[in-house]
């Protein structure tokens, strides 16, 4: 039988991902996106997707970013939010506020 995932397990996974530091090139991409259009999460995610789709950062598309560990998949979202928080620091507090605001109580 499949192991049941509890809320505590999911929280622990997200916290571990938040401590992860992105590769320098990924951090550069995150800062580039935030400078192009300063916005809070999840709007910053949309900005990042658009910039990747148009290959505006160093000519890199989703494939090149994926090679560096950045994916836009739902499975990669905890790591991506952690990388945004680690890269932008205090200005990424909106990530937490918007994620918690959309969570069911």
Please indicate, yes or no, if residue 19 is contained in any of the structural domains: no
Is residue 3 included in any domain, yes or no?
A: no
Residue 70 has, within 13 A of its CA and on its CB side, a CA count of 25
Tally of domains in the chain: 1
Full residue range of the structural domain in which residue 89 is found: 27-101
Instruction: Tell me if 16 is assigned to some domain.
Output: no
Classify residue 38: in a domain, yes or no. Answer: yes
On the CB side of 27, how many CA atoms lie within 13 Å of its CA? 10
Asked if the structure places residue 83 within a domain, the reply is yes
pLDDT tens across the length of the chain (105 residues): 555 544 444 444 444 444 578 999 999 999 999 999 999 888 999 999 999 999 999 999 999 999 999 999 999 999 999 999 999 986 555 554 544 444 444
Rounded to whole angstroms, how far apart are CA atoms 102 and 105? 9
Q: Is residue 5 part of a domain?
A: no
Task: Pick the closest to residue 97 from 32, 16, 40 (CA basis).
Answer: 40
Per the domain annotation, does 2 fall within a domain? no
Q: Is residue 22 part of a domain?
A: no
pTM: 0.69
Q: Which is nearest to 40 in space by CA: 99, 102, 94?
A: 94
């Amino acid at each position: 039988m499949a192991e049941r995932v509890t809320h505590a397990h999911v929280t622990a996974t997200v916290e571990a991902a938040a401590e992860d530091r992105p590769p320098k090139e990924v951090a550069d991409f995150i800062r580039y996106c935030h400078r192009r259009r300063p916005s809070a999460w999840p709007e910053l995610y949309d900005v990042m997707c658009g910039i990747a789709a148009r290959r505006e950062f160093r000519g890199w598309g989703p494939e090149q970013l994926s090679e560096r560990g950045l994916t836009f998949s739902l499975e990669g979202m905890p790591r991506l939010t952690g990388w945004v928080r680690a890269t932008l620091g205090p200005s990424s507090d909106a990530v937490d506020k918007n994620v918690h605001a959309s969570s069911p109580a």
